[in-house]
Amino acid sequence: MMARQDADCIHTASDASALSKGSLQGSLAALVFWGGAKVAHIVAAGGQVMAPNVELMALEMSIATAMVVGCSSLVCFTDSMVAMADLVDPTPHSGQGSSLAACMTLWRWFLGDQHCILHLWHVPSKEEWKIHHEAHKTAKAAQIPLRPGCRVSSDFVWATKESAYWRECTRNSLTLLSGAGISSN
């Protein structure tokens, strides 16, 4: 691959695990490579979030880390098409904070060098492509417990409320049916 041979090219692999059920929170992994060597290996808590939000956080973190190392060519690998689209979407949406941070980082980077190039590549996890698969395994292996005050996305709140609503509706329907002498079987 040309990216590994270019001294001014950094490539990243990011992935996430939305384990925001029970006592665990979503986790993310961002791996940064320069000249074929891993220069950063980041695992972080994502909070109580839906998969697209934590994937976006992982992608944004990998880009921010690459900017610290410095380069004029950046190649990013992720398995989330949604995160790739949301990365540069400043409009209101769940995960907007990560999008705005990425937009600001990329804006400064592009202003600093008119020859900067950003490549975003979709790599499905099922393909188990080497560096992305490493990020995938890293994110899945992280077992980060919930803590008071952890990040919560609006999508997660809505999904939780919707799930509770449907459980309540089902319970009330069964109560009404049993009160009317109707079996739910």
- Statement to judge: residues 91 and 126 lie in one domain: yes
- Statement to judge: residues 162 and 139 lie in one domain: no
- Statement to judge: residues 139 and 174 lie in one domain: no
Q: Mean pLDDT in the chain?
A: 83
- Statement to judge: residues 80 and 128 lie in one domain: yes
What are 82-122's pLDDT values in tens digits? 999 999 999 998 888 899 999 999 999 999 988 999 999 99
pLDDT for 3 equals 46
- Statement to judge: residues 74 and 157 lie in one domain: no
pTM value is 0.77
Mean of the pLDDT values across residues 32-38?
92
What is the enclosing helix (H) or strand (E) of 17? strand 9-17
- Statement to judge: residues 83 and 169 lie in one domain: no
Sign of CA dihedral 12, 3, 87, 67: positive
Instruction: Determine the structural domain holding residue 64 and report its residue range.
Output: 2-148
User: Cα dist. 84→24, 49, 109, 121, 151 in Å?
Assistant: 25, 17, 18, 9, 21
pLDDT for 169 equals 64
Q: Is 126 exposed, middle or buried (0-12, 13-18, 19+ CB in 10 A)?
A: exposed
What is the enclosing helix (H) or strand (E) of 179? helix 154-179
Distance of CA 40 to the CA centre of its chain: 17
Higher pLDDT, 145 or 66: 66
Q: Provide the 10 A C-beta neighbour count for residue 143.
A: 11
- Statement to judge: residues 162 and 144 lie in one domain: no
- Statement to judge: residues 136 and 51 lie in one domain: yes
Q: What is the CATH number of the domain that holds 108?
A: 3.30.420.10
- Statement to judge: residues 116 and 164 lie in one domain: no
User: Which of 56-60, 95-99, 150-154 comes out lowest in average pLDDT?
Assistant: 150-154
pLDDT higher than threshold 60 for residue 20 = no
pLDDT for 175 equals 64
Mean of the pLDDT values across residues 73-79?
96
pLDDT higher than threshold 90 for residue 35 = no
**Domains in the chain, number:** 2
- Statement to judge: residues 44 and 135 lie in one domain: yes
